[in-house]
Amino acid sequence: MLKQPLLPTWCPGCGNYFIFSAIKIALTQLKLPMEKIIFTYDVGCCGNMADFLLVNGFHGLHGRALPLAAGIKFGYPEAKVFSIIGDGGCFGEGVGHFISLCRGNHDLVVLAHDNFFYSLTTGQKSPTTPKGTITPSTPQGVIEEPFNPVANALINSATFVARAFSADISHLAKIIVDAANHTGFSFIDILQPCPTFNKFRPIDWYKKNIYYLDKTNHNPQDFNSALEKSLQTDKLAVGVFYQTQKTAFHQHFKADYSNSKINLTSILQDYS
């Protein structure tokens, strides 16, 4: 992968640094040609990765990174399409898109950066913020029950559902590779610290409150077991909850791209 001259500008200790490293490791291991790697980015701290990751990308509006990814995949089915999106954009503004693409089994890799806050706008509550949490937008505590990303992906028919901890870079990179090699909707809920605004969950909190599914007798083909573990609140499981094979959305259609005059390789060379 070509080196990007711009350096990340996230806060010191931000989980995005870990995710950024894991993505680069995963892309290196996947060995995909540059013209077949496409990312979409949502608004938020994670969306700033568009400036630092030197791959083909499209920066969308808030909550709209997922339909962009679906459209790109449908128009260019040979590509491997990844979507970078936060817990606000994915489960707030874009929750309808998230559920719809799960149900359609669109062949995408969704990397949801889940720090439980709207951190770019100074720490307001997001859909995943725990009930009762005091934030600038909820001075008396969050009233709503938190959105459960993994459980919702499961019950809406996603075919690859995982959770990872951003600071475990090698584990996250492996899950990204597995998700990219899966044909269908691949969803990874990435738990990440936000040292600036989420003081309730520093790195040490995660280390004490997560456990690894691959160190248990969990079977990723067992849907009921996956759903049961997704509903745990005392401890947070990380790893692949569920994986199954179904026809991906674009595979239901037959299209002839043989006469396409678009040559992404030559376009990339013009900018190298």
In a domain, 243, yes or no: yes
In a domain, 224, yes or no: yes
Residue whose C-alpha is closest to residue 229's, from 247, 219, 264: 219
Q: What's the whole-number average pLDDT of the chain?
A: 93
Query: pLDDT tens digit string along 178-198?
Result: 999 999 999 999 999 999 999
pLDDT exceeds cutoff 90 at 153: yes
CA–CA separation, 198 vs 59, rounded Å? 26
In a domain, 8, yes or no: no
Query: pLDDT tens digit string along 1-51?
Result: 555 677 889 999 999 999 999 999 999 999 999 999 999 999 999 999 999
Distances (CA, A) of 102 to 81, 165, 166, 174, 184: 15, 22, 23, 22, 9
Q: pLDDT exceeding 70 applies to what percent of the chain?
A: 92
Instruction: Give me the mean pLDDT over the 207-227 stretch.
Output: 97
Structure pTM?
0.92
In a domain, 58, yes or no: yes
Residue 233's Cβ-count burial label (10 Å; 0-12, 13-18, 19+) is: exposed
CA–CA separation, 202 vs 193, rounded Å? 6
In a domain, 127, yes or no: yes
In a domain, 5, yes or no: no
In a domain, 3, yes or no: no
Residue whose C-alpha is closest to residue 206's, from 176, 165, 245, 246: 165
Domain CATH for 208: 3.40.50.970
The domain tally of the chain equals 1
* Domain encompassing residue 70: 15-270
pLDDT exceeds cutoff 60 at 93: yes
List all residues 6 or more positions away from 153 whose beta carbon is below 8 Å from its beta carbon. 98, 102, 161, 185, 187, 189
- pLDDT of 7 reads 84
- pLDDT of 38 reads 97
Q: How far is CA 230 from the centre of its chain?
A: 17
Q: How confident is the model at residue 254 (pLDDT cuts 50, 70, 90)?
A: confident
In a domain, 253, yes or no: yes
Residue whose C-alpha is closest to residue 110's, from 76, 149, 151, 78: 149
